[in-house]
């Protein structure tokens, strides 16, 4: 009874909100907040960082862990060159194992495995086993590309058997490499899996007597995304592609400026044959093979129609370097800066230069003679605004702009949307008249609701904004509908300010369950599953429905505290009017929507809605609690809509502008 009367009272006082959209408007109108404005074509993109096993063990489809014996305790306490591997001796064979470095494949790849085999008898073999990143997923009827660099002690006769096995030793597929030579040579084999197995392993068995040397032991599914060699895990890459991002920022985040100067992400170490790439520790306390390097990132961008946005370090390391020891930000010595600046300039030549240029030739060699059309370059990530940072940023910035005036160089204004680095970063951006700066914002959901007018107040004559990292952090850093709706509300403000906020990306993108250093993430995954969060669907709903013009709108009887946000936009290509409505409150909202200045409004529109209990949580036990529902809705020049509690609705209306 009480509940019923409560409901009646609520309905009796529910006020209808009238939303009047100047749907025929094509030009910016005067005033703030609800004025019409163009929206940047690159407004929504993604932020990729090799964090949470996003690259190795994640998007990068390599199945072998520690394929080149380069793991060490610098990566992670207790790790060593043989981490990920186990010794195997069969049929009474004897053998001993060493990590060699006297005659490496390449100076960048110093270590390899030496196995002294005594496996001459019938059925005897000495070898190694690798179970990948939490077990290898084998699919019945699918082929796997195996490669290895190997050599043997001169004058011996050693052959290899390559086996895919289940955890308990059942054979799933095999191949043979008949006779090794005494010089490093790359051997390849294709192995067909004859059964499904989620916990498979790769076994290399040597037969014969003498020493065998092994390096770069690799296994890839043939079915990578777009079947690219050295490619990406197809299902994860597809989930990213389905977001339809306008750009991809890579390779981070903190990974870019690294844990000390020796750990900066150096793009030249990430291109060329994988066995020549210089692996290094990952600032997130694991290891980077760099098999997913600049070429692979650029190619992925191209494959999914996203613009590349590489970020390079601004000549300084992360201010959290060896925080425990109080080391902090380190700066490249001034005498080494010319070489570093050249390295930054070279990336632009590598991406955009003709194949006849030095670095363009390297791109062409990798199979991409056409330029990648790089338009954006980030310099720095959340750096502390010290004199050392400023001095180096300026040198890099001036050199890049002098050589590539059309490239948009994005600066950085610290880790928070306020505070000394933010203030000083903006002052510095004003001084240099930067085109764009990268702001970061991790805050609780209520912060986003309280700051919907933040960008309305930004001075349009200053640098434009790339909101490069943001996420609403709910309690226990879980992803909830509440956090997703806070982000959705904020995204309506990004659209409204799409002339000023040119780019934005939720962060971070990927988190492998069991290996997360950072939560929340947009997509969680295991070796066999891909679980987009509720927040993912919010991003997708905006991406699929981003317009290019924010329409002037007047709204009556709505208070800021009502936790209601909206964004009417037009997509000029299709002529569609798209209305996004975010109701973060516990009551439904009655809306009367008036579309002024357009003709031939279709009678039906497509409605996409995401709604539910605001505390609905995405977690391992509840991997896909909510997905958007699509239906049709009757519309016209004036129509009513009841926006459900805790919901995001996108209404896409066909019309003609006179
Ligand atoms: O997105 C995770 C981390 O958050 C990024 O590496 C860093 O830039 C920020 O502090």
Give the pLDDT confidence of 383-410 residue by residue, as tens digits.
Answer: 999 999 999 999 999 999 999 999 999 9
- Quick check: CB of 250 below 6 Å from ligand 1? no
Ligand 1 centroid to residue 254 C-alpha, Å: 6
CA distance 86 to 79: 14
pLDDT tens track for 179-205: 999 999 999 999 999 999 999 999 999
pLDDT at 289 over 90: yes
Strands 553-555 and 530-532: unpaired
Ligand 1 centroid to residue 133 C-alpha, Å: 24
Mean pLDDT confidence for 569-581: 96
Identify which of 437, 435, 372 has the alpha carbon closest to the alpha carbon of residue 405.
435
Q: Name the residue at shortest CA distance from atom 3 of ligand 1.
A: 253
Tokens of 259: 């844990």
pLDDT at 12 over 80: no
Candidates 2.40.50.140, 3.40.30.10, 3.50.50.60, 2.60.120.260; CATH matching 85-221? 2.60.120.260
Tokens of 650: 């996108």
Q: Is the dihedral of CA 41, 304, 524, 51 positive or negative?
A: negative
Phi, psi values for residue 325, rounded to 5°: -95, 5
Mean pLDDT confidence for 157-168: 97
- Quick check: CB of 381 below 6 Å from ligand 1? yes
Identify which of 561, 558, 650, 557 has the alpha carbon closest to the alpha carbon of residue 611.
650
What pLDDT is stored for residue 27 in this prediction?
Answer: 65
Mean pLDDT confidence for 359-386: 98
What pLDDT is stored for residue 32 in this prediction?
Answer: 39
Q: Name the residue at shortest CA distance from atom 9 of ligand 1.
A: 253
Ligand 1 centroid to residue 653 C-alpha, Å: 38
Mean pLDDT confidence for 308-313: 98
Residues in CB range of 476: below 8 A, 6 or more apart: none
What pLDDT is stored for residue 658 in this prediction?
Answer: 60
What pLDDT is stored for residue 28 in this prediction?
Answer: 62
pLDDT tens track for 41-95: 999 999 999 999 999 999 999 999 999 999 999 999 999 999 999 999 999 999 9
- Quick check: CB of 507 below 6 Å from ligand 1? yes
Ligand 1 probe mutation, 55, 381, 421, 506, most atoms within 8 A of CB: 381
CA distance 461 to 168: 66
Tokens of 615: 């505390």
Confidence of residue 323 (pLDDT cuts 50, 70, 90): confident
pLDDT tens track for 461-515: 999 999 999 999 999 999 999 999 999 999 999 999 999 999 999 999 999 999 9
DSSP assignments along 85-147, one per residue: EEEEEETT-EEEEEEE-SS-SBTTB--EEEEEEEE-STT-EEEEEE-TTTSEEE-TT-EEEEE
Ligand 1 probe mutation, 52, 252, 506, most atoms within 8 A of CB: 252
Mean pLDDT confidence for 602-608: 97
What pLDDT is stored for residue 625 in this prediction?
Answer: 87
CA distances from residue 288 to 249, 285, 497, 623 in whole angstroms, order as listed: 18, 10, 37, 28
Ligand 1 probe mutation, 438, 508, 517, most atoms within 8 A of CB: 508
Ligand 1 centroid to residue 51 C-alpha, Å: 9
Q: Are 655 and 575 in contact (CB under 8 A)?
A: yes
Residues in CB range of 649: below 8 A, 6 or more apart: 579, 580, 581, 583, 607, 608, 609, 611, 641, 643
% the chain with pLDDT above 70: 96
- The atom number, within ligand 1, closest to the CA of 469 reads 1
Mean pLDDT estimate for the chain: 94
Ligand 1 centroid to residue 503 C-alpha, Å: 17
What pLDDT is stored for residue 325 in this prediction?
Answer: 78
- Quick check: CB of 49 below 6 Å from ligand 1? yes
Mean pLDDT confidence for 321-336: 90
- Quick check: CB of 254 below 6 Å from ligand 1? yes
- Quick check: CB of 382 below 6 Å from ligand 1? yes
Ligand 1 centroid to residue 450 C-alpha, Å: 23
What pLDDT is stored for residue 324 in this prediction?
Answer: 72
pLDDT tens track for 225-239: 999 999 999 999 999
What pLDDT is stored for residue 158 in this prediction?
Answer: 97
What pLDDT is stored for residue 2 in this prediction?
Answer: 30
pLDDT at 599 over 90: no
pLDDT at 327 over 90: no
% the chain with pLDDT above 90: 90
Confidence of residue 14 (pLDDT cuts 50, 70, 90): low
pLDDT at 4 over 60: no
Residues forming the active site: 382
């Amino acid at each position: 009874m009480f509940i019923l009367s409560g409901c009646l009272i609520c309905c009796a006082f529910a006020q209808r909100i009238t939303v009047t959209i100047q749907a025929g408007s094509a030009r910016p109108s005067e005033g703030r907040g609800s004025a019409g404005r163009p929206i940047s074509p690159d407004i929504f993109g993604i932020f990729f960082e090799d964090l949470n096993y996003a690259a190795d063990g994640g998007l990068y489809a390599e199945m072998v862990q520690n394929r080149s014996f380069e793991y060490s305790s610098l990566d992670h306490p207790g790790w060593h060159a043989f981490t990920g591997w186990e010794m195997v001796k069969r049929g009474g064979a004897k053998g001993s194992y060493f990590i060699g470095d006297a005659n490496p494949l390449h100076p960048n790849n110093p270590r390899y495995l030496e196995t002294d085999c005594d496996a001459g008898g019938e059925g005897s073999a000495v070898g190694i086993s690798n179970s990948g990143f939490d077990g290898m997923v084998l699919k019945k009827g699918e082929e796997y590309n195996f490669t290895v660099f190997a050599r043997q002690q001169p004058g011996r006769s050693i052959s290899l058997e390559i086996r895919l096995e289940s955890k308990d030793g059942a054979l799933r597929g095999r191949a043979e490499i008949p006779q090794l030579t005494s010089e490093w040579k790359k051997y390849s084999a294709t192995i067909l899996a004859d059964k499904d197995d989620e916990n498979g392993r790769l076994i290399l068995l040597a037969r014969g007597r003498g020493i065998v040397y092994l390096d770069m032991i690799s296994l890839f599914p043939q079915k990578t995304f777009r079947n690219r060699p050295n490619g990406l895990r197809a299902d994860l890459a597809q989930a990213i592609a389905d977001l339809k991002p306008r750009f991809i920022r890579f390779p981070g985040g903190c990974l870019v400026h690294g844990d000390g100067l020796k750990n900066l992400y150096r793009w030249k170490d990430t291109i060329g044959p994988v066995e020549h790439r210089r692996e290094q520790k990952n600032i997130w306390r694991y290891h980077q093979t760099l098999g997913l390097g600049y070429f692979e990132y650029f190619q992925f961008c191209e494959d999914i129609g996203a613009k590349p946005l590489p970020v390079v370090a601004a000549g300084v390391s992360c201010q959290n370097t060896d925080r425990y020891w109080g080391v902090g930000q380190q700066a490249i010595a001034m005498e080494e800066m010319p070489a570093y600046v050249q390295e930054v300039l070279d990336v632009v030549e590598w991406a955009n230069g003709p194949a006849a240029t030095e670095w363009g030739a390297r791109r062409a060699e990798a199979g991409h003679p056409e330029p990648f059309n790089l338009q954006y370059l980030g310099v720095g990530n959340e750096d502390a605004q010290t004199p050392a940072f400023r001095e180096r940023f300026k040198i890099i910035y001036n050199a890049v702009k002098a050589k590539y005036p059309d490239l948009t160089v994005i600066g950085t204004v610290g880790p928070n949307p306020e505070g000394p680095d933010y203030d000083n970063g903006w002052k510095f951006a004003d001084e240099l008249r930067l085109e764009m700066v990268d702001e970061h914002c991790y805050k609780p959901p209520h912060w986003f609701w309280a700051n919907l007018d933040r960008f309305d107040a930004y001075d349009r004559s200053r640098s434009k904004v790339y909101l490069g990292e943001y996420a609403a952090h709910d309690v226990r850093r879980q992803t909830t509908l509440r956090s997703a709706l806070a982000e959705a509300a904020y995204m309506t403000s990004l659209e409204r300010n799409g002339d000023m906020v040119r780019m934005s990306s939720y962060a971070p993108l990927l988190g492998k369950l069991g290996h997360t250093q950072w939560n929340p993430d947009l997509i969680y995954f295991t070796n066999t599953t891909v679980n987009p969060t509720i927040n993912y669907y919010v991003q997708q709903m905006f991406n699929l429905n981003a317009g290019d013009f924010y329409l002037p709108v007047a709204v009556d009887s709505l208070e800021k505290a009502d936790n209601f946000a909206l964004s009417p936009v037009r997509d000029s290509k299709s002529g569609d009017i798209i209305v996004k409505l975010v109701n973060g409150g516990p009551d439904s909202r009655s809306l009367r929507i008036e579309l002024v200045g357009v003709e031939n409004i279709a009678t039906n529109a497509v409605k996409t809605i995401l709604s539910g209990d605001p505390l609905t949580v995405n977690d391992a036990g509840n991997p896909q609690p909510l997905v958007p529902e699509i239906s049709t809705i009757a519309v016209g020049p004036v129509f009513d809509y009841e926006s459900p509690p805790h919901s995001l609705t996108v209404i896409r209306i066909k019309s003609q502008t006179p």
